[in-house]
Amino acid sequence: MAQLLPWKQEYSVSVSKFDNQHKTLVQLINDLHMAMSTGNGKASLQLILEKLMNYTAIHFADEEKEMQRTKFPGYLTHKMEHDKLTAQVKDLYRKITNKQVVITMEVMNFLKDWLTNHILKVDKKYSDHLTSQGVR
């Protein structure tokens, strides 16, 4: 089965730690899609979604720490975007665990679009700044 979200070089932010974390997030979305597509049980889907949620929190914290350390001028706007996305994913997780919504292709496409749009439209903004500060 083809991956829902294959990694593309255009997603690179030229910071290896963050590229590797983005690749892990991509893999977790693909794992969730695979579990959904093969009819794995709710517990399996919930576990993968929890991993995705927890890893996203770690990734956001790492990005924010580096942006603060290097005095990235767009830090506050970027943090607000992280907070908004975190709230959306937590709300989705709550709805899924409370059986208010199920994991469907619509949910999978939301997660895919959320990640790719965040990388391409938000994270790319810090790329030049961090690399100019010697962050690779």
pLDDT in tens, 93-130: 898 888 887 888 888 998 999 999 999 999 999 999 99
Averaged pLDDT, 84-93: 89
DSSP state of 22: H
Tokens, residue 22: 């983005």
Tokens, residue 65: 């720490």
User: Is 28 part of a structural domain of the chain?
Assistant: yes
User: Is 9 part of a structural domain of the chain?
Assistant: no
Contacts of 73 (CB under 8 A, 6+ apart): 129
- Domain interval for residue 68: 14-132
Count structural domains, the chain.
Answer: 1
User: Is 8 part of a structural domain of the chain?
Assistant: no
Question: Which sign does the torsion angle of CA 91, 87, 36, 51 carry?
Answer: negative
- Exposure on the CB side of residue 81, measured as CA atoms within 13 A: 17
User: Is 7 part of a structural domain of the chain?
Assistant: no
User: Is 127 part of a structural domain of the chain?
Assistant: yes
Range in 2-6, 28-32, 93-97, 116-120 with the lowest mean pLDDT: 93-97
Across the chain, mean pLDDT equals: 92
User: Is 59 part of a structural domain of the chain?
Assistant: yes
Label residue 79 exposed, middle or buried (CB < 10 Å: 0-12, 13-18, 19+). middle
User: Is 1 part of a structural domain of the chain?
Assistant: no
User: Is 38 part of a structural domain of the chain?
Assistant: yes
Give percent of the chain with pLDDT exceeding 70. 99
Instruction: Report pLDDT for 41.
Output: 66
